[in-house]
Structures are given as structure tokens and as C-alpha cells.
């Protein structure tokens, strides 16, 4: 006669499986996150190196970006609303399209960790030849000589954002020929675990940083930074770190002098 499991034995087996699952699932999740970080880091490094190769062909001058067809007065985004995003023929000039011949892969502009933004105007475009990007170019570098940086290893070139869109984004924004604005926004430098992101630096290396580890100096700001949020305004030195993403605060007006030669 075959012996069957008793109810107690089945419950013990189920309990053991549940305990093992509780132990292993977080490990699997951490391994998956680590893999995404590694792939993401490789992508932003290749984007950074491709930009440096681009500057070799332009007398060391970083890409520029013009306002797109929406006539926004600052060169903040390009490709928003366009069918093929930043690769659309209507886009006049933007960094993402300018470096594409050097990257030779639209996929490298996309982070595996950033969800596809569903917004119909600027969100991810699932169409052949469309430009989508997770990365944002530091506006303090727009049209500047890369050799003019006083500390390229400490100067952010690219940073990730929360979602992937079809825009060629610049953040912070170089808005009056002297100052950069929007340095401490809550949707950038916040790709992983609501903690930080991978960064591409002006000397070509890439690294993961939690956002408070990134200072205004790293963004190319040479002096005092003026910050405004819902709680009010305050001036801080450029050695101040950016806001902890967990606070979900948005210093929509955080500006200071862009001077990559004096950081």
C-alpha cells in the first residue's frame, strides 16, 4: 500500500518552500538590479566616449542644441512632439542626434532600468528609426570646449532620469549665457531604487552615484547656488550635494553660474 503525505507533512513542506522563497526572492531581485546597473553603466560610458570622439572632430567643442519646433526659448528639450523624437527631420540641432553617427546604436541611448514613458507628446516612441533616450546632457557643456574644464574627472557629462522619452534633453539648462537653471530636479539622477543613477563624466569614465553624492560643483557650477522650492529660497555653496530622492523634493529653480573652467 502506497503511503500518502499527511496534512501536517504537507504543511511543513509548504512552510519550508515559503521560507526559502522569502530568502531567495530578495537575492534574485538584488542580482537583477545589479545586472541592470552594469548594463546601464556600460551604456552611459559608451555614450560619453562617443561624445568625446565627436569633439575630436569639432575642435574639442561639445554638441550644441537649439530650441525645437515648440519654440521653447531655452535649448532644454528637442524632439518633443515629433514623430521620430530627436531623430525626426524637423529637429534642427540637438546633442542626441549629433553624436548618433559615433554611437551607431539608438539602443545605447536607452537605459534598461528606466521605464518607457507613456506620455503621448514626449514619451517613448516604439517606431523604427525613432530616437529615445534616458540620458541628459549637462547644459553647462553645451557648445563649450571640453579642454577648458578645470576638472573633467569631476564634471558630469551625462546623467540618467526616471523614464525614457523621445527627447534630446539638457539638464541643467544654460539659459542666459551665464547661468544654468534646474540643476536639482527630482526626476533626474534617480534611476535606481529611488537612490541614484549612473553618471558619465567629462573625462570619459562612468560611475554609479547616489544623488546626494553629486554636488553642484560636479554639475559645472562655480559659485553660490540659488535654490527655490515649495518651502522657500536659500543660497548654498557649490559643494552642497543634490537632494535625497527619497524626499521627492523638486528644486525647480536651482541656478548658478556655469563655469566649467573654474570649478
Cα separation, 244 vs 241, whole angstroms: 9
- For residue 109, with 0-12 CB atoms within 10 Å meaning exposed, 13-18 middle and 19 or more buried, which class applies? buried
Tell me the whole-structure pTM to 2 decimals: 0.84
Per-chain mean pLDDT for the chain: 87
Asked whether residue 3 is domain-assigned, the answer is no
Contact 163, 114 (CB under 8 A): yes
Beta-carbon contacts of residue 168 (< 8 Å; ≥ 6 apart): 65, 77, 78, 79, 85, 86, 91, 94, 95, 96, 97, 131, 133, 137
Cα separation, 35 vs 221, whole angstroms: 33
Band (38; pLDDT cuts 50, 70, 90): confident
Cell numbers standing for residue 232: 522657500
Domains held by the chain: number: 1
Asked whether residue 173 is domain-assigned, the answer is yes
Q: pLDDT tens digits, residue range 185-241?
A: 888 888 887 889 999 999 999 999 999 999 999 999 999 999 887 667 889 999 999
Asked whether residue 88 is domain-assigned, the answer is yes
Cα separation, 23 vs 43, whole angstroms: 31
In this predicted structure, the answer to whether residue 15 has a pLDDT above a threshold of 60 is yes
Q: pLDDT tens digits, residue range 41-99?
A: 999 999 999 999 999 999 999 999 987 665 565 678 899 899 999 999 999 889 999 99
For residue 72, what are the domain limits? 9-257
Amino acid at each position: 500500500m502506497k503511503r500518502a503525505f499527511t496534512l501536517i507533512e504537507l504543511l511543513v513542506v509548504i512552510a519550508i518552500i515559503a521560507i526559502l522563497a522569502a530568502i531567495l526572492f530578495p537575492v534574485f531581485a538584488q542580482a537583477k538590479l545589479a545586472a541592470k546597473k552594469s548594463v546601464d553603466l556600460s551604456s552611459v560610458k559608451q555614450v560619453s566616449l562617443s561624445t568625446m570622439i565627436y569633439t575630436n572632430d569639432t575642435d574639442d567643442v561639445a554638441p550644441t542644441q537649439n530650441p525645437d519646433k515648440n519654440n521653447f526659448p531655452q535649448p532644454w528639450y528637442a524632439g518633443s512632439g515629433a514623430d521620430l523624437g530627436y531623430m525626426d527631420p524637423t529637429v534642427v540641432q540637438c546633442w542626441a542626434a549629433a553624436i548618433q553617427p559615433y554611437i551607431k546604436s539608438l539602443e545605447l541611448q536607452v537605459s534598461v532600468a528606466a521605464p518607457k514613458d507613456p506620455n503621448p507628446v514626449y514619451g517613448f516612441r516604439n517606431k523604427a528609426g525613432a530616437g529615445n533616450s534616458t540620458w541628459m546632457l549637462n547644459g553647462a557643456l553645451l557648445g563649450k570646449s571640453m579642454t577648458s574644464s578645470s576638472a573633467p574627472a569631476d564634471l558630469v557629462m551625462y546623467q540618467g532620469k526616471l523614464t525614457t522619452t523621445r527627447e534630446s534633453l539638457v539638464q541643467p539648462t544654460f539659459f542666459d549665457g551665464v547661468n544654468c537653471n534646474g540643476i536639482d530636479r527630482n526626476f533626474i539622477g534617480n534611476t535606481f531604487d529611488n537612490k541614484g543613477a549612473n553618471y558619465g563624466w567629462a573625462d570619459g569614465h562612468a560611475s554609479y552615484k547616489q544623488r546626494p553624492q553629486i554636488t553642484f560643483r560636479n554639475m559645472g557650477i562655480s559659485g553660490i547656488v540659488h535654490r527655490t522650492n515649495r518651502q522657500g529660497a536659500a543660497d548654498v555653496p557649490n559643494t552642497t550635494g543634490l537632494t535625497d530622492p527619497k524626499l521627492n523634493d523638486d528644486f525647480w529653480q536651482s541656478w548658478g553660474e556655469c563655469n566649467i573652467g573654474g570649478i
